[in-house]
Amino acid sequence: MHAPSLDELWNAVPSSSRMFRLEQLSGCPDAAQRYLAHAIAPGTPLASAVRLRMHGEIKLRQWRPFTAEQVISWDHGMMWSATARVNGLPVRGFDCLVNGEGMMRWHLLEVVPVMRASGPDITRFAAGRVMAESVWLPSVLCRQEITWAARDALHARAHLAVQAEAADLELSISANGMLRNVSLPRWSNPDNTRFRYVDFGGLVEQEGRFGGFTIPTRLRVGYFVGTDRFESDGDFFHATIDNASYR
């Protein structure tokens, strides 16, 4: 599979002309309405894609700093292109989900292969990531095909699908609509054994506004969110969003 560049994926997205209105949330549970009304300002174009710049640290045996750029296009795919430093040397590459296929390609010094992965499990793995990261593109959670349910006043559940993979995305929401954490069962193998569904998600530590969207801008991501295992062996990705653009 040929992986497009970030620019190619981004430039394939048309600008949105449909605007967000609070009346569009009338069929959602109260918790979902509170979250979406907080996340999207009235009159904001309902974007189908976001382009992010971020930095942080990722756990590759030890914590390593990284910088990255990402495009999430709900109708076309996702690409995360990053550079991490391992013992001072750059490891560069990308994770992507494009044209219905997931792929991972990483190299040390742009020459030595570090990771190459593809196939059905990687595609499902990547689809789970895109669903979790829909909180960076909250406009897609307003789509008609998304169905909502509420556990209580502070928790909402969105049923959504990417490619052939579907999941219930659980959102914990404060009284003022701020997202506290997000989780879903993701097809994965965090212990490098067999693939299976594992609880995956993120804890939101800070939010910010870009255009008409208020999104998590600092969060901790990993497996076993909501349990003691998250702190001991689930937490592996800390990200700070530096900029987000929408179309």
| Tens digit of each residue's pLDDT (9 = 90 or more) over 74-115 | 999 999 999 999 988 999 999 999 989 999 999 998 889 889
Average of per-residue pLDDT across 44-61: 97
Beta pairing partners, 75: none
Judge whether residue 2 has pLDDT over 80: no
Judge whether residue 3 has pLDDT over 80: no
Beta strands in 20-61 (DSSP E): 49-60
pLDDT at 180: 98
Judge whether residue 226 has pLDDT over 90: no
Instruction: Record the tokens describing residue 139, joined without a space.
Output: 């406009």
pLDDT at 75: 92
Q: Please provide the CATH number assigned to the domain covering 32-241.
A: 2.50.20
| Tens digit of each residue's pLDDT (9 = 90 or more) over 28-48 | 999 999 999 999 999 999 999
| Tens digit of each residue's pLDDT (9 = 90 or more) over 110-169 | 889 889 999 999 999 999 999 999 999 999 999 999 999 998 999 999 999 998 999 999
Q: What SS3 state is found at 48?
A: coil
Judge whether residue 210 has pLDDT over 90: yes
Residue type, 134: S
Domain ranges of the chain: 32-241
- Rounded to an integer, what distance in angstroms lies between the CA atom of residue 226 and that of residue 50? 28
- Please answer whether residues 131 and 169 qualify as being in contact, where contact means their C-beta atoms are separated by less than 8 angstroms: yes
pLDDT at 1: 61
Alpha helices in 133-201 (DSSP H): none
- Rounded to an integer, what distance in angstroms lies between the CA atom of residue 150 and that of residue 179? 15
**Average pLDDT of every residue of the chain:** 95
